[in-house]
Amino acid sequence: MIKSIKITTLLIGLVALLGMSSCLRPVSYPDEPELTAVSYEKMGDSLLLSIEFTDGDGDVGLNEGDTLSPYNPGSFYHYNLYVEYYEMMEGQWVKGRLDPAGNNFPTADTINFQYRIQNLTPIGQNKTLKGTINITIEAPYYNPISNHNDSIKYRISLIDRAQNISNLIETELITR
């Protein structure tokens, strides 16, 4: 009798636990991508950026064949991850520029890195994404012709397939 009560209690507890776990709702995030953290690791004169993100509808990344409008070459949406380079000049952050004289005159030659992140949409019913994108900025990760390349940072944004642009996130100060 005591043995059957213990088994019945165990079965009731197991059924209740299974019933509660089936009621758990998946985590939800906004449909716009959100950058939540960025860290870096120096690898010689290259830099590895690790960018943490979330996206509620999972439409981050492009397929190799996504080259028609609005993802065509030359379009802003051809790339889906943008990294801007900044240098500290006289106590202020200034977009790094490619100026042979190192004067950093205002020109259109700002230093930007553009990437096409592959399609990351999960398979299955729940499309929410939470993950890390790793990119390497090849050597040198700083502007070698600048007189102000000892204190730099990067500003990053991510774009999903619905053309939603994420928040901007910045690395902390990077010193050479």
pLDDT at 107 over 80: no
> 21 lies in a domain?
no
Specify the pLDDT at position 111. Answer: 87
Domain that holds residue 58: 28-175
Q: Quick one: which of 167, 164, 173, 170 has its CA closest to 35?
A: 167
Confidence of residue 176 (pLDDT cuts 50, 70, 90): confident
pTM listed for this prediction: 0.80
Give a yes or no: residue 45 inside a domain. Answer: yes
Residues counted in the chain: 176
At residue 108, the pLDDT reads: 52
Residue type, 58: G
Cβ atoms 99, 86 nearer than 8 A: no
Q: For 162-173, how does the pLDDT look when each residue is reduced to its tens digit (9 = 90+)?
A: 999 999 999 999
Quick one: average pLDDT of 54-73?
A: 96
For residues 133-152, give the mean pLDDT.
90
Residue 6 lies in a domain: no
For residue 71, tell me if it sits in a domain: yes
pLDDT at 97: 77
* List of residues 6+ apart from 154 with CB closer than 8 A: 38, 40, 49, 83, 84, 85, 86, 137, 170, 171, 174
- What pLDDT does residue 124 have? 87
pLDDT at residue 160, as a whole number: 97
**Is residue 10 scored above 50 in pLDDT?**
no
Asked, for residue 12, whether it belongs to a domain, the answer is no
| Strand order across the 129-137 sheet | 34-43, 46-55, 129-137
Where does the pLDDT of residue 103 fall: very low under 50, low under 70, confident under 90, or very high at 90 and above? low
For residue 156 the two structure tokens come to 């990053």
Please indicate, yes or no, if residue 8 is contained in any of the structural domains.
no
CA–CA dist 89, 148 (Å, integer):
6
Q: What is the average pLDDT value for the chain, to the nearest integer?
A: 85
Question: What angle is formed at CA 19 by the lines to CA 18 and CA 23, rounded to 5 degrees?
Answer: 115
Tell me whether residue 11 is in a domain.
Answer: no
What is the total count of domains within the chain?
1
CATH number of the structural domain spanning residue 51: 2.60.40.10
DSSP track, 97-153? B--TTS---S-S-B-EEEE-PBP-PPSSS---EEEEEEEEEPSPSS-TT-S-TTEEE
Classify residue 115: in a domain, yes or no. yes
Round to whole Å and give the CA distance between 132 and 79.
18
